[in-house]
C-alpha cells in the first residue's frame, strides 16, 4: 500500500465508508495524514480518584461499591466506585438491563470521562468504561489519544484505525518534503513526516497546552506549509494576470486633468499618489489588480471616479459595484453630479429594480450606450452582458470576500480581454494579514484624510443613562445639527433588527416631540430607504433612527452626533465604520457608545479602543487581536478559505518567511509550487474554481 493509493486499499474501507470519507475531503491514503486531530485525551496515566479535578477528562479504576437505579424525573443508573483514595459516581441515563447487571458489587471497572462536581462527590456522566477481569489493570496508552474532526457515521475508533494504517504506509513512502531545505533548517523545523507522526500520536510527555494552542513546532511546520499553499495559489493568480490581455487605457489624460481641476476640493497628496499608481496600471496591456485601503472618509470614491473616467474617455465601459443598495445609490448620485458636466449619466442596476427599468439598463449596458454602470452584485448576475467592459470597481470589498472577488474576475472577461480591477476597502488590515489575504493584489494606501476633519470624540456610557443622552440629542438638534441613533444589531435576524429599531423609534418620537425623527431599516423597500436617507441628507429629518444598514459609506456632513445602542455587541471595525458617518463637516462631532452593563473585561477593552483612537489601522489591529480575522475579512458572508492547521491571527507572523519561501520555490520549480497547492487546496487548486 502506498500513500497515494485510494482509500479503499485500506483494511476496513469499502465503497460506503470511502464515500463518507470523501465528504471530509479524503480521497487518498496521504489525505488521512493531513486530517489532524482537534484535541487530545490523556489516557496514558491512571488518576487517583482522590486527586480528580472537576472539568478534566481522566482515566480511573475502582471497585464497585453500589449500583442502583433512582428516579430523578427520569431513570438514572448510579454506580459508586472507589479506589481507596476516594469515591466517584458514574451516572447513566440510557442503559440496558445487561449493562446494569455488569456492575456487581466488588467488580473492578476502568472508566474514562469528564469529571464533574456532583451532589456528594465527583461524577462522570456516561463515561467510556470497561469491566476488568481479576488481576487485570486498566489499559493505559503510550501516546495521547487523538480526537479527530467528527464526521457523520465515522467513529473516532475507526479514524484512529485508519490513521494508524496511513502512518504505517507513511513509513514506506513518506510524503514528499516540498519545502526547501535551507528554510526548514533555518527555521529549525522538524521534517514533514516527523511532524505528522507527532501530531497524530503525541508521546505521553507532549506539551498538551502548547499543542492545544497550536504553537507546537510540529504544528507550526504544517501551518507554515498551509499558509504557503494559499499564498502560492493567490500569487499564481497574480502571475496569471500578467500573462492575460487587457485593454491598455492610454487615452483620457486631458479629461482626467480637467475633471480634477473642476472638483470643488483639492485632492490630498495621498489621493494624488494612489491615482498615479492606478493610472500607470491602467495604461498597461495586462489587467490591473489593485486594492485601495483607506480609512473611512479618506476619499476613495473620487479616486474610483477618476479611474472610471479614464476608461470612459477611451471609449470603453466601467462598472462600480457596492455591497448595499444605499451605498450604490449614493455612488450613483455622486457620479451623476461629478459627471454631469461631461454629459455622462450612469446606468443603474440592482436586484430590486422593476423589470422595465432593468431591461432598459441591460440594453444600454449591452449596446454600449451606457459607459458607466453603478449597482449592487446584480451587476454580475446572469443576463448582464457588457459591450466593452474595461474596468470593474468593487467598493467595500471586505463585504464580498476572497472567493467572490476571484469569481468576479472570471465573470468579467470579454472578447477584448480581462477588465482591470480596482477593489476598495475601508477596513484596513495589518500588514502580515494583508499578505495572506490579498496576495493576489497590489496595494495602495490612502493614509491621509482631507484637511479640516476633526477626530470624532467618543465616549462609552451605560444605557441606564439613556435619558441624559436623549437630552443631548435634543440640544444638538436644537442648535441645527443632525444626529444618528443606531439600533442594536441582532445577529442574522432582519426581523428582530427591525423590531428593535421600531421600538427605539417609538421611544424617541415620544421623548422628543419637537424633533423631526425618521426611521430607516433593512426591511424597507429600497425606494423607502432612499426617501428616508434623502430626507435626512436634505435636513428635513433631524434625527435618523437606523439599523446598521447605514454602516458603509453614507455621507451627510451636517450630522455631528451618533448614538450607538448595544455597542458592546458589535465588532470594533464595524463601530469604527459607523462612527465614520459623523465627523464629516466643520462641527466637532461626538459618538456615544451605549452599552448594557455590566461589561466583561474584553468588552471594556474593546470600547476603550474606540475611545482612545480614530485610526482605522489601530482599530483593525485590536479587532484582530480580540476577535480573530473572520470579521475583518468578511469570512462570515463568504467563507475565507478554511485553514486546517494555520490560524491567521496566531500565525500571521510567519507570513514574511512564507513570502520568502514562496519566491524561492517559484523560482526553482513551478512543479513543486503546484504540488504544495494541490496538497492543501485539493485539485481545484485555486480560489476561483471552488
Ligand atoms: P470613503 O473613503 O470613506 O469612501 P468618500 O469617498 O465617501 O470616503 O469621501 C468622503 C467625503 O469626503 C465625500 O464627501 C467626498 O466628496 C469628500 N472628499 C473626498 N476627497 C476630498 C478632498 N481631497 N478634500 C475634501 N473633501 C474630500
Ligand atoms: Mg466609501
In the chain, what are the domain boundaries? Answer: 7-41+145-206, 49-132, 253-446, 457-613
Q: Say how many Å lie between the CA of residue 223 and the centre of ligand 2.
A: 35
Which ligand lies nearest the alpha carbon of 322? 2
User: Among the atoms of ligand 1, which is closest to the Cα of residue 334?
Assistant: 16
Residue 541 confidence (pLDDT): 95
Residue 357 confidence (pLDDT): 93
Q: Say how many Å lie between the CA of residue 528 and the centre of ligand 2.
A: 22
Which ligand lies nearest the alpha carbon of 293? 1
DSSP for 237-263 reads HHHHHHHS--------HHHHHHHHHHS
User: Among the atoms of ligand 1, which is closest to the Cα of residue 301?
Assistant: 6
Residue 375 confidence (pLDDT): 93
Instruction: Quote the DSSP letter at residue 316.
Output: -
Which own/partner pairs from 257-265 qualify as long-range (CB within 8 Å, at least 24 positions apart)? 259/305, 259/306, 259/309, 259/338, 259/342, 260/306, 262/341, 263/302, 263/338, 265/450
Mean pLDDT of the region 439-450: 89
Percent of the chain with pLDDT over 70: 91
Q: Is the pLDDT of residue 634 over 60?
A: no
Question: pLDDT of 662-675, one tens digit each?
Answer: 999 999 999 999 99
Mean pLDDT of the region 622-631: 64
**Beta sheet of 420-425, edge-to-edge order:** 347-349, 372-375, 317-321, 389-394, 420-425, 289-294, 442-446
Residue 59 confidence (pLDDT): 94
Q: Say how many Å lie between the CA of residue 525 and the centre of ligand 1.
A: 27
Q: Say how many Å lie between the CA of residue 527 and the centre of ligand 2.
A: 21
With a 6 Å cutoff on the Cβ, whether 582 touches ligand 1 is no
Q: Is the pLDDT of residue 77 over 90?
A: yes
Mean pLDDT of the region 1-29: 83
User: Among the atoms of ligand 1, which is closest to the Cα of residue 584?
Assistant: 11
Nearest Cα neighbor of 34 from 515, 539, 591, 681 is 681
Q: Is the pLDDT of residue 74 over 90?
A: no
Residue 1 confidence (pLDDT): 54
Percent of the chain with pLDDT over 90: 48
Q: How far is it, in rounded angstroms, from Cα 421 to Cα 409?
A: 8
Is 49-132 a CATH 2.40.50.140 domain?
Answer: yes
User: Among the atoms of ligand 1, which is closest to the Cα of residue 267?
Assistant: 23
- All three cell numbers of 453: 476633519
Q: Please state, rounded to an integer, the average pLDDT across all residues of the chain.
A: 86
Question: Per-residue confidence at 632, pLDDT binned at 50, 70, 90?
Answer: very low
Residue 380 confidence (pLDDT): 78
Question: Per-residue confidence at 638, pLDDT binned at 50, 70, 90?
Answer: very low
Residue 28 confidence (pLDDT): 87
Which of 263, 275, 293, 299 gets mutated to test ligand 1 (max ligand atoms within 8 A of its CB)? 299
Q: Say how many Å lie between the CA of residue 328 and the centre of ligand 2.
A: 10
Question: Per-residue confidence at 157, pLDDT binned at 50, 70, 90?
Answer: confident
Distances (CA, A) of 461 to 38, 267, 347, 385, 468: 41, 37, 45, 51, 10
Residue nearest to atom 20 of ligand 1 (CA): 299
Give the CATH number of domain 253-446: 3.40.50.300
Domains 49-132 and 253-446 share a fold: no
Q: Is the pLDDT of residue 640 over 80?
A: no
Question: Per-residue confidence at 683, pLDDT binned at 50, 70, 90?
Answer: low
Question: Per-residue confidence at 631, pLDDT binned at 50, 70, 90?
Answer: very low
Q: Say how many Å lie between the CA of residue 320 and the centre of ligand 1.
A: 17
Phi, psi of 662, deg, nearest 5:
-60, -45
With a 6 Å cutoff on the Cβ, whether 260 touches ligand 1 is no
With a 6 Å cutoff on the Cβ, whether 586 touches ligand 1 is no
CATH architecture of residue range(s) 457-613: 3-Layer(aba) Sandwich (3.40)
Residue scoring higher pLDDT (587 or 553): 587
Mean pLDDT of the region 423-433: 76
Q: Is the pLDDT of residue 129 over 80?
A: yes
With a 6 Å cutoff on the Cβ, whether 302 touches ligand 1 is yes
Amino acid at each position: 500500500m502506498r500513500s497515494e493509493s485510494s482509500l479503499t486499499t485500506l483494511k476496513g474501507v469499502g465503497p460506503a465508508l470511502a464515500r463518507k470519507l470523501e465528504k471530509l475531503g479524503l480521497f487518498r491514503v496521504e489525505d488521512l495524514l493531513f486530517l489532524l486531530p482537534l484535541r487530545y485525551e490523556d489516557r496514558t496515566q491512571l488518576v487517583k480518584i482522590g486527586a480528580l479535578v472537576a472539568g478534566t477528562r481522566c482515566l480511573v479504576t475502582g471497585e464497585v461499591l453500589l449500583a442502583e437505579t433512582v428516579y430523578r424525573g427520569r431513570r438514572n443508573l448510579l454506580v459508586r466506585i472507589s479506589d481507596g483514595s476516594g469515591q466517584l459516581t458514574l451516572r447513566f441515563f440510557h442503559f440496558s438491563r445487561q449493562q446494569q447487571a455488569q456492575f456487581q458489587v466488588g467488580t473492578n471497572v476502568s472508566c474514562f470521562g469528564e469529571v464533574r462536581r456532583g451532589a456528594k462527590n465527583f461524577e462522570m456522566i456516561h463515561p467510556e468504561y470497561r469491566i476488568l477481569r481479576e488481576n487485570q489493570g486498566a489499559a493505559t496508552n503510550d501516546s495521547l489519544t487523538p480526537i479527530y474532526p467528527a464526521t457523520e457515521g465515522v467513529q473516532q475508533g475507526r479514524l484512529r484505525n485508519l490513521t494508524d494504517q496511513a502512518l504505517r504506509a507513511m513509513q514506506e513512502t513518506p510524503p514528499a518534503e516540498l519545502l526547501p531545505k535551507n528554510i526548514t533548517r533555518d527555521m529549525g523545523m522538524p521534517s514533514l513526516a516527523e511532524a505528522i507522526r507527532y501530531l497524530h500520536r503525541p508521546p505521553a510527555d507532549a506539551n498538551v497546552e502548547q499543542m492545544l494552542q497550536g504553537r507546537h513546532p510540529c504544528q507550526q511546520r504544517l501551518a507554515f506549509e498551509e499558509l504557503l499553499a494559499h499564498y502560492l495559489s493567490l500569487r499564481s493568480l497574480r502571475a496569471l494576470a500578467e500573462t492575460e490581455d487587457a485593454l491598455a487605457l492610454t487615452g483620457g489624460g486631458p479629461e482626467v486633468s480637467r475633471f480634477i481641476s473642476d472638483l470643488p476640493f483639492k485632492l490630498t497628496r495621498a489621493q494624488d499618489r494612489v491615482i498615479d499608481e492606478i493610472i500607470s496600471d491602467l495604461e498597461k496591456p495586462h489587467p490591473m489588480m489593485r486594492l485601495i485601503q483607506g480609512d473611512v472618509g479618506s476619499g476613495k470614491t473620487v479616486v474610483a471616479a477618476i479611474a472610471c473616467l479614464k476608461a470612459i474617455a477611451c471609449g470603453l465601459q466601467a462598472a462600480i459595484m457596492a455591497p448595499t443598495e444605499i451605498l450604490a445609490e449614493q455612488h450613483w448620485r455622486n457620479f451623476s453630479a461629478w459627471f454631469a458636466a461631461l454629459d455622462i449619466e450612469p446606468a443603474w442596476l440592482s436586484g430590486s429594480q422593476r423589470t422595465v427599468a432593468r431591461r432598459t439598463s441591460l440594453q444600454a449596458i449591452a449596446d454600449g450606450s451606457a459607459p458607466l454602470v453603478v449597482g449592487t452584485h446584480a451587476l454580475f448576475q446572469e443576463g448582464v452582458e457588457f459591450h466593452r467592459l474595461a474596468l470593474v470597481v468593487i467598493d467595500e470589498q471586505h463585504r464580498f470576500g476572497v472567493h467572490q472577488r476571484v469569481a468576479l474576475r472570471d465573470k468579467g472577461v470579454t472578447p477584448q480581454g480581462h477588465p482591470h480591477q480596482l477593489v476598495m476597502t475601508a477596513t484596513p488590515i495589518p500588514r502580515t494579514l494583508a499578505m495572506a489575504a490579498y496576495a493576489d493584489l497590489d496595494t495602495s494606501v490612502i493614509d491621509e484624510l482631507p484637511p479640516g476633519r476633526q477626530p470624532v470624540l467618543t465616549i462609552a456610557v451605560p444605557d441606564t443613562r439613556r435619558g441624559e443622552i436623549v437630552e443631548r440629542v435634543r440640544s444638538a438638534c436644537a442648535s441645527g445639527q443632525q444626529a444618528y441613533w443606531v439600533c442594536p444589531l441582532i445577529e442574522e435576524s432582519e426581523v428582530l433588527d427591525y423590531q428593535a429599531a421600531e421600538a427605539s423609534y417609538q421611544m424617541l418620537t415620544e421623548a422628543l416631540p419637537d424633533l423631526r425623527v425618521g426611521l430607516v431599516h433593512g426591511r424597507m423597500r429600497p425606494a423607502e430607504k432612499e426617501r428616508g436617507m434623502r430626507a435626512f441628507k436634505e435636513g428635513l429629518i433631524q434625527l435618523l433612527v437606523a439599523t446598521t444598514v447605514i454602516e458603509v459609506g453614507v455621507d451627510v456632513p451636517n450630522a455631528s452626533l451618533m448614538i450607538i445602542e448595544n455597542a458592546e455587541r458589535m465588532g470594533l471595525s464595524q463601530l469604527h465604520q459607523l462612527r465614520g458617518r459623523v465627523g464629516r463637516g466643520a462641527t466637532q462631532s461626538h459618538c456615544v457608545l451605549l452599552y448594557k452593563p455590566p461589561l466583561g473585561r474584553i468588552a471594556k477593552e474593546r470600547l476603550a479602543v474606540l475611545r482612545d483612537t480614530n485610526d482605522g489601522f489601530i482599530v483593525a489591529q485590536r479587532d484582530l487581536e480580540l476577535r480573530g480575522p473572520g470579521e475583518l475579512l468578511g469570512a462570515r458572508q463568504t467563507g475565507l478559505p478554511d485553514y486546517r492547521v494555520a490560524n491567521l491571527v496566531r500565525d500571521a507572523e510567519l507570513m514574511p518567511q512564507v513570502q520568502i519561501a514562496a519566491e524561492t520555490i517559484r523560482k526553482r520549480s513551478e512543479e513543486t509550487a503546484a504540488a504544495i497547492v494541490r496538497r492543501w487546496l485539493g485539485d481545484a487548486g485555486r480560489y476561483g474554481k471552488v
